[in-house]
A and B are shown apart, each in its own frame.
Chain A
Amino acid sequence: MKFGVITFPGSNCDHDAYWAAQQVSGQKAAFLWHESHDLENCDAIIVPGGFSYGDYLRTGAIAKFSPVMESVRKFAASGGLVLGICNGFQILCESGLLPGALLRNVGLKFICKPVHLRVENADTPFTSACHKGEVLTIPIAHMEGNYFCDESTLAELQRERRIVFRYSNAEGEITAQANPNGSLDNIAGICNAGRNILGMMPHPERASAPELGCVEGLRIFESLATALATK
């Protein structure tokens, strides 16, 4: 099983995602260069966090035009697993692979802190190692994480159970206070209709070792590894 991590100019969580993927899969991962169409036969693609193209213009706005994203689109269309983390989520939305957009945080400031996430759907390749309703603690670190979409899209996401993570308190209650950035419906992560593309603002790769104080992010990677192993 081989994970591929995309490097755009300005990606800065590519090494982190690479490291976490490698820990979980026990196998070498690959860095995929933005200018190349070649996905190097990877079984799952991670679009990592960072500031691709400096987040100039809009977050993810320039990255979506890169050659590698063309291949990712094709890969996803054929059912390939794609995980977008933070800036990766923003890029997937800009690319149209996921609906909606990520706006500036309501508080207008960059926020870096661990948050609680309630798993809304454990029936995806990204969350099979979790239980529905379970609360994970995973850090966020972003300026534009305020999820927005129109009403009909929201209704569709809800109906199709495509909201995968929502910001909650430690007890798993979805409250306004637990919403760090103003996201619609406390949305922290969503998937596509095919359940093979997940975008999330929190950074699971940062909650991946006991020394770091939390290991619950590893579940996402473990779920992915299981999905690939049983594919």
Chain B
Amino acid sequence: MITSPAFVIDPAVLRDHGITPDEYEKIKQLLGGREPSHTELGIFSVMWSEHCSYKSSRVHLKRLPTRSRLVLQGPGENAGIIDIGDGWACAFKIESHNHPSFIEPFQGATTGVGGILRDIFTMGARPVAVMDSLRFGPISSNSGLSVQPGAAAPTQAEIHKNHSVMEGVVSGVASYGNCFGVPNLGGETKFEPCYSGNPLVNAFALGLVKKNEIFYAKAAGAGNPVIYVGAKTGRDGIHGATMASEEFSETSEAKRPNVQVGDPFLEKLLLEACLEAMQTGAIIGIQDMGAAGLTCSTCEMGARGGVGLEIEMDRVPQRETGMTAYEIMLSESQERMLLVAQKGREAEVYRVFEKWGLDAVQVGHVIAENTMRVLEHGNVVAEIPNQALTDDAPVYKRPLQRWEPPVPREKPEHIQWNAGKDHTSDLRRLLASSNICSKRWVWQQYDSMVQTNTVEGPGAGDAGVIRIKDSQRGLAMALDGNGRWCYLDPRLGAMHAVAEAARNVACAGAVPVGATNCLNFGNPEKPHIMWQFSQAIDGITKACEELDVPITGGNVSFYNETLGEGIYPTPVLGIVGIIEDIRQAVHPGFREAGKTVVLLRGSDPGDMADAEPEFGSSEYAKEILGALWGYPPALDLEKEAALQKAVIEMAQAQLLDSAHDCSDGGIAVTLAESAFSKGMGIKVNLVSRGLPSEFVLFAEDASRMVISCDRGKLHGIQQVAVKYGIAADVIGETVPEKIEISVDGAVAVSANVNELHKVFEESLEKALRTEPELVAAD
């Protein structure tokens, strides 16, 4: 008998819980025809929310490739796991915390980092690296025009708001990760007007675990105790999961009490205690309480193990008085874990948590029925079959509608190409532009070196690289996504995200072996958004298959819209690669003068008919021309794979001094960035093949890298290139101090490296320091 105090479920109540009339009918049917209690309705509302149930995305996510001989755990657990050799495995995942970060940037970001770290150490893995992919609205009015048609240039108030969102998010990420003690290897930070009302905060974490010590979020053994550990439960974040499943309106900021507060110190204790408790052998299964809190961990652990969990609300440690079962079950208080231990060995578990000064209490036990049962003051207030909340949750095949972005596909006529123009100032402007400039202001606030494994930290390169102590091996990881490209062509744009993240990892000399994705989109109830989503999935699927990087997990974030304005479709890919011998890791920067500079190219540059439409999606078009047209660059995945294999082989044969991938801003920016790390100059000549010099310098063709090497190793490099069918053209050499890039023998860029470096380094800080003009000057 389910007791429910006088509580009437009417349409308004259902609306508040985000449950449709059809879904309500299904709930009653799954409960054997009866009405749900208030607590049960709350439980259904969070478990069936988009955020937890993936009801709109599930049919599409099924298409993603998820297997390889190295995948030990694919999607469906707290994190995916890949075998990395020498008895080690790595657990990794990326997750969004977009909505909370808009409402309260600092706390939203901290809890985002906290959540992803718990996902990793729940699996028994010690987190050894984090990265973030961040998107904000414009932070200065002079950087590029608004490329979203119809959108006005950002107002000063908007810029001011974007500054404070960015400051809050960055210090939130820093505060949590630094205290927890995990190195932040960087990631990416990009700016577009569409993210003004909808910043994206995607946090990636990776942990190491011995292959035979992996833990799963699975309950087993009727009668075994269910133990609650960590922070006490308060009323924070109630309905956070349903909030993440709604668009923003003007009243969203009034939802502030929904936002949870993170405590990185407590999480650090929880990490140490959990890993130590796992060593006792007394723990059977463990899951963190993230979105949908106690509800989610209770039914999911039961469902995975084919058993049930029965829990008593009166035993749950509470921070506030008078909390109801509804509130306790839906609370999203942070830094909490639920675990199932072996009966009779509870004391061993308690001893560890007590040592670390943490609460650990038995709140229930495992039952044989595949059901979640919740008791309050001795009465059953919820009794729901686990499957009703997980497998039987609604799945929608939402309508799709092909969509054309309101952007010309041909170059606007007023734009002319300048033969023979000096492009030094163009390069300077690009290096200072918000999407390309150094993000030092961001990553210098992150502890990037704690744990003393950081071989390649943030800033310099394409990928973060760590060593694994007591092993020769290392891991490289990179995050990538280009919303503007996905807006123009979601399928091709998503393919690029996979290709570039993998290319970044390959540049470090690592073999890409696994991927995680964070899919940030608008409202899935709009057919064109769902079409974008489906296209992106197709693109990711294709690219992951061709490049042999299975998806092991990730997260979908829909409803990234404010007042009906959606973001660019923004799939972000995180890719992890293995370096068998860390001494073979390749750095992105030129090391010394007198080295040969080579352009590796998987595909041929096209002719004007190909190049012109592609150039419209470049950073050059955005920043220098203030325009957007055309398509993302073409991508030949076979060639891309060949290029990556080639560079990895070159790295393993120790032929390379440096390798850096060509992306935003084209080869000119790549060359400059490679030069900055040691203040080296370059003298390079590029061949135009009849294309305008803008294209030669700044086009963003895929599948290209700039490498440097000893002259004596050139032959070896060319042999590998021939083997894989890619071009390896010598374009020049490294020299002291001066950057000089010619096109067909005529100097097109000429500047002192330190001068350009200063522009690159200082631009972001300058933009953030400049207070908008709405305030009076001193």
Touching chains A and B, CB distance < 8 Å: yes
Write the residues of chain A forming the contact surface with B, with a CB cutoff of 8 angstroms. Answer: 9-10, 12-13, 15-16, 19-20, 49-51, 53-56, 109-113, 139, 141, 143, 203, 205-206, 208-209, 211-213
Report the Cα distance A208→B454, complex, angstroms. Answer: 11
Report the Cα distance A56→B180, complex, angstroms. Answer: 14
Write the residues of chain B forming the contact surface with A, with a CB cutoff of 8 angstroms. Answer: 171, 174-175, 178-181, 263-266, 268-269, 356-357, 443-455, 467, 469, 474, 582-583, 585
B552 to chain A, nearest CB (A): 27
Report the Cα distance A12→B179, complex, angstroms. Answer: 8
A19 & B452 in contact (Cβ 8 Å cutoff)? yes
Identify whether the interface residues of A are mostly helix, strand, loop, or mixed.
mixed
Report the Cα distance A55→B447, complex, angstroms. Answer: 15
A16 & B448 in contact (Cβ 8 Å cutoff)? no
Partner of B265, one of A54, A110, A212: A54
B582 & A112 in contact (Cβ 8 Å cutoff)? no
B454 & A212 in contact (Cβ 8 Å cutoff)? yes
Known: A10-B265, A55-B179. A110 touches B452 (CB 8 A): no
- In the complex, the chain B residue whose C-beta lies closest to that of A33 is B355
Instruction: Count A-B contacts at CB 8 Å.
Output: 88
B269 & A112 in contact (Cβ 8 Å cutoff)? no
B181 & A12 in contact (Cβ 8 Å cutoff)? yes
Report the Cα distance A144→B573, complex, angstroms. Answer: 35
A56 & B265 in contact (Cβ 8 Å cutoff)? yes
B269 & A141 in contact (Cβ 8 Å cutoff)? no
A51 & B265 in contact (Cβ 8 Å cutoff)? yes
Report the Cα distance A76→B443, complex, angstroms. Answer: 38
Across-interface contacts of A205 in B (CB, < 8 A): 452
Across-interface contacts of B451 in A (CB, < 8 A): 15-16
Known: A15-B451, A109-B171, A141-B178. A10 touches B445 (CB 8 A): no
B452 & A20 in contact (Cβ 8 Å cutoff)? yes
User: What are 24 A-B residue pairs whose CB atoms fall within 8 Å in the complex?
Assistant: A9-B356, A9-B357, A10-B268, A15-B451, A19-B469, A20-B452, A51-B178, A51-B265, A55-B265, A109-B174, A110-B445, A112-B444, A112-B449, A139-B449, A143-B178, A206-B449, A206-B450, A211-B474, A211-B582, A212-B449, A212-B453, A212-B454, A212-B455, A212-B467
Partner of B467, one of A111, A141, A211: A211
A54 & B263 in contact (Cβ 8 Å cutoff)? yes
B450 & A13 in contact (Cβ 8 Å cutoff)? yes
A106 to chain B, nearest CB (A): 14
A10 & B179 in contact (Cβ 8 Å cutoff)? yes
Report the Cα distance A211→B443, complex, angstroms. Answer: 20
B181 & A112 in contact (Cβ 8 Å cutoff)? no
Known: A109-B171, A110-B174, A112-B445. A12 touches B268 (CB 8 A): yes
- In the complex, the chain B residue whose C-beta lies closest to that of A11 is B181
Known: A113-B444, A211-B455. A51 touches B179 (CB 8 A): yes
B195 to chain A, nearest CB (A): 23
B262 to chain A, nearest CB (A): 11
Report the Cα distance A98→B444, complex, angstroms. Answer: 29
B179 & A16 in contact (Cβ 8 Å cutoff)? no
Sample of 9 more A-B contacts, CB < 8 Å, known A19-B469, A109-B444:
A49-B450, A51-B181, A109-B171, A110-B447, A112-B443, A141-B447, A211-B582, A211-B585, A212-B449
B721 to chain A, nearest CB (A): 28
Known: A19-B469, A20-B452. A12 touches B180 (CB 8 A): yes
Across-interface contacts of B178 in A (CB, < 8 A): 51, 110, 112, 141, 143
